Amino acid sequence: MDDGRFKIVNRKKRNHRFHRLKKNRKSKKMNSKGKISRRGFLKTGIAVGAGVYGLPYLRAIKKKPTLKQLKEHDLKPGIVVVHGDSANANGEEVVVKEMVRRAISALGGMRKLVSNGDRVLIKPNIAWNQAPEFAANTNPCVVAALVALCKDAGARSVMVIDHTCSANPETSYNRSGIASAAIRAGAKVSYINKNRFRDFVIPDGTVLKQWSFYEEMVYKDEVDVLINVPIAKQHGTSRLSMALKNVFGMIGGDRGSLHTDIHPKIADLNKFVKVDLTVLDAFRILKKNGPTGGRLDDVDNSQEHARRIIVSTDPVAVDAYGATLFGIKPKDVGYIRKSHEEGLGEIDYTSIGFEEFHV
């Protein structure tokens, strides 16, 4: 049935073979044109190889980045606790934003920390794919308020970023409401880029001598001001998760392996990161089944234990105060005690100046 067609094909093939014979006869001349000679092959091979291999060495031309240090500021050294009250959910956004604003101004105002043209990085807790009312992630209103304050103070850019526990950051960023709230307030929201974790030596680490940190949070030429915005939660392994524990969102590596003997490790990690300001969201706190939560029964938003924003430049003092909200003595939480002992901050938060007021 196909005979006719194959005849055509065969005729073509014959012609083709004939051509090829002719080609072979002049193959020596053809070398320079269509094909490549052995010598040419070697030459280009060496050239390309050297280029590909040598290119990364050009990196050395770039200036070696230096590590961020604590920014010099004129903020008061104490701790400020702002109580807020909102019975209905509609008022929450207004109340929380007002609380954050008043808290920061009680500490001296954002302008005392953020200077014109600064790059600010806000690190909330966006670990879980959970809605704001379950108190598993930082309240989006707190983040939005801080973004607005930084912008007002003249920050060139405000970035909101966290290394989530969810495998896909997108789910957490969206469900927590932080992504949309921060973008609305004018921040740049970005996901963790896996290529940007780098191992650093922790100079005075007792248990951890070295760990991988996120470059954008530790390099001087990437960030000027680093603001840690945790939420107060119960946590299985470390008892409580607040400011010091929130540093787990700034690191890479095998974070699970840090959970054995976690307390000194949290202290060690905090020695490396230079957090300029800590804003603890205790508007709602998660008292049980943390850090993931998911049950409104476990969320405490009563006036006596929650409904607060705690602000200080001293993360240990913030955590010490936070622990009391759970009815736990600060010294009973291993990492708070350890961090205090190793000079990261003051565990007796009243001694550095304690201010408390209602909004």
Partner 1 sequence: MQDKHTQNNWPFHFRRVIQYISFSVFIYLLLFLDPLTERDVPANIFLRMSPLSAIGAMMAVRAFIFNYWPAFIVLLLTIPFGRYFCAWICPLGTTIDITDRFFAGFRKHAQRRLYDGRRLKYYLLAFLLLSLLLGLQCAGWFDPISIATSVFAMSIHPYIIHLGDSLFVYLEHIPLLGYLFSFFHAFFQKILFAWHAPFFRSHGILLFAFVIIIAFGMVLRRYWCRNICPMGALFALFSDWSFFKRNVSSTCTSCGLCVGKCGMGAIESDGKSTKEGECILCMTCRNVCPEQSVTFKRFQPSLQKHTISLSRRAFVVSGIAGAAIAPFLKLNYRKKINKETVSIIRPPGAVNEKEFIARCIRCGECMKVCKTNGLHPVLLEYGIEGIWTPQLIPRIGYCDYGCVLCTRVCPSGAIKPLPLEEKRWVALGKARIDHNRCIPWVGYSRLPELKKEWQDFNCGVCEEVCPVPTKAIHFNTYVDEQGREIRRPFVREDVCVGCGFCEKVCPVLGTSAIVVEGIQPQTTVKKERSVKIVSSGNFLPKTLGKWKRIAEPRIYEGGERLYEYMNGGAELYLAYSFIRVTNAEYGDDTGKRISIDIWEFETAEDAFGVFTKDRAGIGISLGNRASLFENYLFVWNDVYCIRVAPWEGSISGGEITSFGKSIIDLMPYKKEILPDIVRYLPEDSLVKESLKFFHEKIILDNIYISDNFIEENVFHLSKQTDALIAEYKTGEEAAPLLLLLIKYPDRDAASIAFEAVVKLWRSWGEKETHSNAIHTFQNENGYFTSWLQEKHLLAATFLSPKKEEGEELLRRVLQNGKIE
Q: Could you give the string, one character per residue 71-100, with x where binding to partner 1 holds by CB under 8 A and - elsewhere?
A: ------------------------------
Give me the least distance between CB of 101 and partner 1, in Å please. Answer: 31
User: For partner 1, which is the closer residue by CB, 4 or 203?
Assistant: 4
Tokens of 97: 């934003």
Please list every residue from 208 through 237 that binds partner 1, using CB under 8 A. 235-237
- Shortest distance in whole angstroms from residue 287 CB to partner 1: 11
d(CA 264, CA 334): 8
Task: Indicate the angle between helix axes 140-152 and 92-107, nearest 10 degrees.
Answer: 50
Are 283 and 139 spatial neighbours (Cβ–Cβ below 8 Å)?
yes
Interface with partner 1 in residues 330-349 (CB under 8 A): none
Distance between CA atoms of 212 and 205, rounded to whole angstroms?
13
Q: Mark the segment that binds partner 1 (CB under 8 A) among 26-34, 124-132, 146-154, 348-356.
A: 124-132
Q: Determine which residue in the list 29, 53, 55, 203 makes contact with partner 1, applying CB under 8 A.
A: 55
Cβ proximity of 266 and 207 under 8 Å: no
- Residues 157 and 222: their CA atoms lie apart, in Å, by 11
Residue 326 structure tokens = 């759970």
Kindly tell me the burial class for residue 304, based on how many C-beta atoms sit within 10 Å of its own C-beta (0-12, 13-18, 19 or more).
exposed
Q: Is 157 in the site for partner 1 (CB under 8 A)?
A: no
1 near partner 1, rule: CB under 8 A: yes
The answer to whether residue 29 forms part of the interface with partner 1 (CB under 8 A) is no
Question: CB count, 10 Å around CB of 132?
Answer: 20
Contact status: 165 vs partner 1 (CB under 8 A): yes
| Nearest-approach distance from CB 123 to partner 1, in angstroms | 18
Q: Which part of the chain contacts partner 1 (CB under 8 A), choosing from 217-225, 251-259, 269-277, 351-359?
A: 251-259
Considering only the stretches 37-45, 116-124, 169-177, 305-313, report the one whose residues sit in contact with partner 1 under the rule CB under 8 A. 169-177
21 touching partner 1, by CB under 8 A: no
Binders of partner 1 among 280-299, rule CB under 8 A?
A: 288-289, 291-295, 297-298
Pairwise CA distance, residues 79 & 353, whole Å: 6
Nearer to partner 1, 58 or 87 (CB): 58
Give the span between the Cα atoms of 242 and 102, in whole angstroms: 21
Contacting residue, 26, 29, 33, 59, with partner 1 by CB under 8 A: 59
Q: How many residues belong to the site for partner 1 (CB under 8 A)?
A: 53
DSSP 121-175: EEEE---SS--GGGTSS--HHHHHHHHHHHHHTT-SEEEE----SSSSHHHHHHH
Handedness of CA 73, 76, 79, 84 (dihedral sign): negative
Q: Give the residues lining the site for partner 1 (CB under 8 A).
A: 1-8, 12-13, 16, 55-56, 58-59, 61-62, 128-130, 165-171, 175, 191-193, 195, 235-237, 254, 256-257, 259-263, 288-289, 291-295, 297-298, 327
